[in-house]
Amino acid sequence: MAAGTTRKISAASARAHTRKPKQKASSAGFSGAFKKILLVSFIGFLAWAYQATRPPPPKKCGSPDGPPITASRIQLNDGRHLAYKEYGVPKDKAKYKIIFVHGFDNCRLSVSAITSYISPDLVESQGIYIVSFDRPGYAESDPNPKQTVRSTAFDIEELADKLGLGSKFYIVGFSMGGQLVWTCLKYIPHRLAGAALLAPVINYWWPGFPSNLSKEAYDQQLPQDRWALHVSHHMPWLTHWWNTQKLFPRLSLVDHNPAVFSHQDRELMPRIQSMVGEYQAQIRQQGDFVSLHRDLMIGFGTWEFDPTDLENPFLESEGSVHLWQGDEDKLVPVKPQRYIVQKLPWIQYHELPGAGHMFPYADGMADSIIKTLLGAA
């Protein structure tokens, strides 16, 4: 009998029963639309990120939309051009031939740190010739899309050959240019008559540094600089974005932050600015990426060698290497330099009490640096 009974269903229950599939369909539709929105948003973010991290093409000097060529230039074997400036006695009459390597956010004209204050009598009596050049991507030298730690050393060698400087020459590098002198000591030591490193920038990731020393020196930098250098080393593909974005503080030197300068540096700043102001607009004219940002990626990237492992290139005492450092330098800490010269006792070390990073501009320094390098003191 129970099998034959029929169950009565109320009208309300019937309506509720028929609505359930509609709710499921509506929920499924909403979920699908939300996933599509997320997907489109993610694709949009990736497109934005790609554009933000992708540097703009350089404005090469002499190109239709680029700056004019005003400097003397030589053409390298790979087709690139290097701009240069000469000072002193004619090179065919010179006894001493010196190549000057400029630092970060600067150009060939920053050789004025030496040439504006060196004694004319010293230049004439000793027969000194100095040539400075724009490193790749700076001012009027073509960018080098294949630039590496070693490539600029070979650019320097080729510059010397194109200008007819002979089999050997002296090299002086300031700041980031001083860092590049290490590469010349590594890759073209046979071409060097002597070398001077002026407050050479260190790479905190050189494996020869004890970890506690690297950390101590790294922690002395401004927080914004620690972040910028961390990005340049660990995420070089983000270097352009990091130093052009507005969300976080960028590298202090990019923004000319005075907090990175010592007391002596600030005293010298009016003198420096009066000279740099004459050529400031040229420095980054081809683009920040091919000059500043590439400098950071290479200078603080993974190197192919460790400067603390270098061997003395002047075993017969036919030349010498000098490292000059201010003990109050806020940009390049003094302790890593002391460690380097302890590891490389063949380097003649000159520590300057009370001096900051810009000491080459101080009175008397140009004569001291050049006399010491040439053995004319």
* 254: confidence class by pLDDT, cuts 50, 70, 90: confident
Q: Rounded to whole angstroms, how far apart are CA atoms 176 and 59? A: 23
Parallel, antiparallel or unpaired: strands 169-174 and 192-198: parallel
CATH number at residue 170: 3.40.50.1820
Q: Is the pLDDT of residue 15 over 80?
A: no
Q: Rounded to whole angstroms, how far apart are CA atoms 205 and 189? A: 24
Kindly state the average pLDDT of the residues 99-115: 96
At 48 the pLDDT is 47
* Per-residue DSSP letter, 89: S
Query: Is the Cβ–Cβ distance between 163 and 91 less than 8 Å?
Result: yes
At 10 the pLDDT is 56
Cα dihedral angle (98, 194, 290, 288), rounded to 10 degrees?
-80
* Residue 258 domain flag: yes
Parallel, antiparallel or unpaired: strands 96-101 and 128-133: parallel
At 316 the pLDDT is 84
At 137 the pLDDT is 97
Please list, in sequence order, all residues whose beta carbon lies within 8 angstroms of the beta carbon of residue 322, skipping any fewer than 6 positions away.
194, 195, 196, 197, 347, 348, 349, 350, 369, 372, 373
At 246 the pLDDT is 86
* Residue 7 domain flag: no
Domain carrying residue 369: 72-374
Residue 91: burial class (beta carbons within 10 Å; 0-12, 13-18, 19+) = middle
* Residue 187 domain flag: yes
At 34 the pLDDT is 63
At 46 the pLDDT is 47
Kindly state the average pLDDT of the residues 126-141: 98
Total tally of structural domains belonging to the chain: 1
Residue listed under structure tokens 């109050």: 328
DSSP string, 289-327: IIIIIHHHHHHTS--SS-GGGPPPS-TTSS--EEEEEET
Kindly state the average pLDDT of the residues 290-301: 96
Q: Is the pLDDT of residue 22 over 60?
A: no
Question: Which tens digits make up the pLDDT trace of 59-102?
Answer: 999 999 999 999 999 999 999 999 999 999 999 999 999 999 99
Q: Rounded to whole angstroms, how far apart are CA atoms 103 and 93? A: 28
Q: Starting at the edge strand that comes first in sequence, how are the strands of the sheet with 169-174 ordered?
A: 72-75, 81-88, 128-133, 96-101, 169-174, 192-198, 321-326, 347-352
Q: Is the pLDDT of residue 29 over 70?
A: no
At 176 the pLDDT is 96
Residue 202 sits at the vertex; the CA angle it makes with 196 and 204, to the nearest 5 degrees, is 160
Query: Is the Cβ–Cβ distance between 137 and 290 less than 8 Å?
Result: yes
Q: Rounded to whole angstroms, how far apart are CA atoms 333 and 339? A: 11
Query: Is the Cβ–Cβ distance between 172 and 98 less than 8 Å?
Result: yes
Residue listed under structure tokens 């030298």: 141
Query: Is the Cβ–Cβ distance between 154 and 188 less than 8 Å?
Result: yes
Kindly state the average pLDDT of the residues 204-217: 96
At 25 the pLDDT is 54
* Residue 287 domain flag: yes
Torsion over CA: 331, 336, 340, 341 (sign): positive
* Residue 48 domain flag: no
Higher-confidence residue: 221 or 3?
221
At 54 the pLDDT is 75
Residue 370: alpha-carbon gap to chain centroid: 25
Q: Rounded to whole angstroms, how far apart are CA atoms 162 and 160? A: 6
Residue type, 119: S
At 199 the pLDDT is 98
* Residue 329 domain flag: yes
At 113 the pLDDT is 92
* Residue 50 domain flag: no
Q: Is the pLDDT of residue 4 over 60?
A: no
At 45 the pLDDT is 46
Residue 54: alpha-carbon gap to chain centroid: 18
* 3: confidence class by pLDDT, cuts 50, 70, 90: very low
Question: Which tens digits make up the pLDDT trace of 304-356?
Answer: 999 999 999 998 878 999 999 999 999 999 999 999 999 999 999 999 999 99
Q: Rounded to whole angstroms, how far apart are CA atoms 32 and 36? A: 6
Q: Is the pLDDT of residue 41 over 60?
A: no
Q: 154-163 as b/e, with b when 16 or more CB fall inside 10 Å?
A: bbbbbbbeeb
* Residue 107 domain flag: yes
